[in-house]
């Protein structure tokens, strides 16, 4: 049985963004059953959980004797089980993997910097100047991403794990209009979020916080 580990509670401003959402979404796209184990306050810092996730973050993933951490690695592992996420054709699979890694290595670092300033340090004396520089870099990255997508619905001929990861990164900007007002990326993100598997995963994560 697959078990994913997630937080029992997080601040309202990040609910719906925690990275276990990626794993829940991937599992639902792949049609794989799983259970969720919620971590109470401070439990992620205790030795039993550190044995699963050495950095005390979520998600962690357990499947029989296999234990994994890092959402990208977990989604790739799930994708290997199902062509719903990674195409069977080797070249298409390789390209989808490129987009997944681009989301994590090229897009997410700059997105995360902007999000952290806006959500956690908006009143810091250095915030305005630093934010302006980061937003300039981010706008460049988003323009490059939009140009790569063009008129296509997804980055491959159909939805893949690459789109899943890109969409979850773009969602970190939900408190801004950087994505929603973009004529290419706005509809793209809406298309990804409209997928039934995303809707189910998102509702499931929010329901856990509400409980």
Return mean pLDDT, the chain. 97
State if pTM tops 0.95: yes
Model pLDDT for residues 28-85, shown as the tens digit of each residue: 999 999 999 999 999 999 999 999 999 999 999 999 999 999 999 999 999 999 999 9
**What CATH number was assigned to the domain covering residues 2-84+197-210?**
3.40.30.10
What are the DSSP calls for 143-210, one per residue? HHHHHHHTT-SSSSSS--HHHHHHHHHHGGGTTSSTTTT-TTHHHHHHHHHTSHHHHHHHHHHHHHHH
CATH of 90-195, one of 2.40.30.20, 1.20.1050.10, 3.40.50.300, 3.40.50.2300: 1.20.1050.10
Q: Report domain extents, the chain.
A: 2-84+197-210, 90-195
């Amino acid at each position: 049985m697959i078990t994913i580990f997630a937080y029992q509670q997080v601040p309202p401003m990040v609910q719906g963004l925690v990275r276990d959402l990626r794993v829940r979404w991937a599992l639902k796209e792949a049609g794989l059953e799983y259970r969720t184990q919620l971590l109470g306050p401070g439990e992620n810092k205790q030795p039993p959980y550190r044995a699963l996730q050495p950095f005390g973050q979520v998600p962690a993933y357990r499947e029989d004797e296999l234990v994994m951490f890092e959402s990208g690695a977990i989604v790739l592992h799930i994708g290997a089980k199902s062509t719903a996420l990674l195409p069977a054709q080797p070249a298409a699979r390789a390209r989808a993997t490129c987009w997944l890694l681009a989301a994590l290595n090229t897009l997410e670092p700059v997105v995360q910097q902007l999000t952290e300033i806006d959500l956690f340090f908006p009143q810091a004396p250095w915030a305005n100047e630093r934010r302006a520089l980061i937003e300039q870099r981010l706008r460049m990255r988003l323009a490059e991403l939009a140009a790569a997508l063009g008129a296509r619905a997804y980055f491959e001929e159909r939805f893949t794990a690459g789109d899943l990861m890109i969409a979850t990164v773009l969602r970190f900007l939900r408190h801004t209009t950087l994505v929603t007002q973009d004529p290419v990326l706005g509809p793209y993100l809406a298309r990804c979020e409209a997928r039934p598997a995303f809707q189910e995963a998102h509702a499931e994560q929010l329901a856990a916080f509400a409980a």
